[in-house]
Structure 1
Amino acid sequence: MSTLVEDNPAKHRFEILVDDALAGFTAYVPRDGYLVFTHTEVNEKFQNMGVGAALVRGTLDQLRERGTKIVPQCPFVAAFIKRHPEYADLVAQGT
């Protein structure tokens, strides 16, 4: 299974492709120099396969490279960061 996480700025979301099929996305709203993550969705046929975690990990890795901070309003993204504290530095302070 090959996966690719890429930003789709036109739709304000990061998408994960599994074997070239859209398997899920995490939506964001740009605000004051950071991204507010509002919703994550994984296609039913890709659930319970680690696709959601791979999506969030790939998204956060790309944002770290860019130096972009986030606000994890989406419960899935917030729970991922809680389980993986190595990403806690990406959360915008005071938000």
Structure 2
Amino acid sequence: MTEIEVVDNTEDSCYEIRVDGKHAGKLEYRLIDGERHLPHTEIDREYGGRGLGSRLVEGALQLARESGEPVVPECPFVVAYLHKHPQWQDILVPGSLPPADD
């Protein structure tokens, strides 16, 4: 069975997704005035097409919620995820979610 985990890699300022202990992708963040800005998400090519991007964003948002730091979504993938999953609105900086691209 495949083990998937999302961890906060504070040294590299990113949330990292690991598959069976191996790096599979990351969601970069910048801490600005107590807020977590999320500018870029990437999944390594060999792990593409498995839904790991969504798993990474979900895990990162859960870790951000646990840290108590509000989130500013900047990455288009994160923005799209948040429009599909409104249960995360409570951890966003008010007014920081751009409109959906329809």
Count of residue pairs the alignment pairs up? 95
Partner of 1:48: 49
Q: Which has the larger radius of gyration?
A: 2
Deviation at 1:69, TM superposition (A): 0.6
Following superposition, the deviation at residue 94 of structure 1 comes to 4.4
Alignment identity in percent? 37
Runs of 4+ in structure 1 off by over 3 angstroms are none
In structure 2, the partner of 1:36 is: 37
The alignment's TM-score, normalised by the length of structure 1, stands at 0.94
Q: Larger % of helix: which?
A: 1
Within 5 Å, give how 1:1-95 maps onto structure 2.
1-95=2-96
Tell me the SS of whatever aligns to 1:11.
coil
2-side partners of 1:94 and 1:19: how far apart? 37
Q: How far is 1:15 from its partner?
A: 0.1
So what's the TM-score if we normalise by structure 2?
0.88
Task: State the alpha-carbon separation in 1 of the partners of residues 37 and 46 from structure 2.
Answer: 27
Q: Which letter maps to 1:41?
A: E
Deviation for aligned residue 1:30: 0.5
Taking the aligned partners of 1:28 and 1:39, their CA distance within structure 2 comes to 8
> Could you list the runs of 5+ residues in structure 2 that have no partner in the other structure?
97-102
Q: In angstroms, what is the RMSD of aligned CA positions?
A: 1.0
Give 5+ residue unaligned stretches, structure 1.
none
Q: Is the 8 A contact 1:82 1:88 kept in 2?
A: no
CA distance in 2 between counterparts of 1:33 and 1:93 reads: 14
- SS where residue 56 of structure 1 aligns? helix
User: What secondary structure is seen at the aligned counterpart in 2 of 1:10?
Assistant: coil
